Amino acid sequence: MAQQLLKIIIQKMPIDKNGDLIFDVDEAQQLHNNAVKMLSKAIGIDVLTTFADVDVADMADNKTSTTTDELEKVERTVYNEAGTSQMLFNTDGNIALEKSILNDEASMWNLIQQFETFLNTLLTPFNKSPKKVTYRAQILPTTIYNYKELAKQYKEHTQLGYSKMLPQIALGQSQSAILTTAYFENDVLDLVNVFIPPLMSSTMNAEVLNRGKTGENANGKEGAGRPEKADDQKSTKTIQNRESMN
């Protein structure tokens, strides 16, 4: 592979019709030195000055395709020598970036746990009266990439009776802001009686249910079938088919 990247610049000194040299040896040496000086900063290039006819043999593999990515071979060799899979942080496909981000998050999880343990150690002196109140620090595994998904999961847990604050915390709100907002909206503005949540299928009347069967989906559009998946959940073939249709 290294030989395929090397280049040799050959400058041949001219001769007259009688076969005599036009330049003497000192002049040819000076021309050679000039070429070497000019290409001194070039990588993988050598200079040859000669009076003889030169035939350069091709060191490249004749079976090598012109589209072969030599850098890909080098990267694969580096991962093989390290004893790890190249697909760990450099996966291919439409979900490559998503999987790489998950691997990065997993590699930082132990560090986050150490910070959480350190914070709880600082709070230990304040927990001298455990019967009254106990302080504990918890760092949620939220990032700029997964906060929407975590908020959705926390919301589903709320329906089972778990914490009602975690969905809002995952969206970036503080605990005090959540409590004060809830008090202001429910007790001061009485929004709980002003804004009524939409009816579910179990509480809808027969007329609404029958109208839903005529072709309107959940988005109010005509048609049937399940909603379209997000791009990171589609297969590579599905994305290729969609691009070919456009």
Count CB atoms within 10 A of the CB of residue 34. 13
Q: Same domain, yes or no, for 26 and 79?
A: no
Run of H or E including 26: helix 25-38
Provide the pLDDT for residue 121.
92
Q: Taking 60 as the threshold, does the pLDDT of residue 61 lie above it?
A: no
Assess if residue 120 is contained within a domain. Answer: yes
Assess if residue 108 is contained within a domain. Answer: yes
Q: How confident is the model at residue 211 (pLDDT cuts 50, 70, 90)?
A: low
User: For 162-172, what is each residue's pLDDT tens digit?
Assistant: 888 888 888 88
Least confident of 176-190, 198-212, 213-227: 213-227
Among candidate residues 84, 114, 139, the one where a domain is terminated: 139
What integer is the mean pLDDT of 60-70?
59
Q: Taking 50 as the threshold, does the pLDDT of residue 83 lie above it?
A: yes
Assess if residue 187 is contained within a domain. Answer: no
Q: Same domain, yes or no, for 29 and 77?
A: no
Q: Same domain, yes or no, for 32 and 73?
A: no
Provide the pLDDT for residue 48.
74
Q: Same domain, yes or no, for 91 and 125?
A: yes
What integer is the mean pLDDT of 70-96?
72
Q: Taking 90 as the threshold, does the pLDDT of residue 115 lie above it?
A: yes
Assess if residue 188 is contained within a domain. Answer: no
Assess if residue 242 is contained within a domain. Answer: no
The number of folded domains in the chain is 2
Q: What is the pTM of this model?
A: 0.41
Assess if residue 237 is contained within a domain. Answer: no
Full domain range(s) for residue 75? 69-139
Q: Same domain, yes or no, for 105 and 133?
A: yes
The Cα–Cα gap between 135 and 240 comes to 53
Assess if residue 189 is contained within a domain. Answer: no
Amino acid, res. 201:
S
179 Cβ neighbours under 8 A, 6+ residues apart:
none
**Rounded to 10 degrees, what is the CA torsion of 73, 78, 79, 83?**
130
Assess if residue 93 is contained within a domain. Answer: yes
Least confident of 33-37, 77-81, 87-91: 87-91
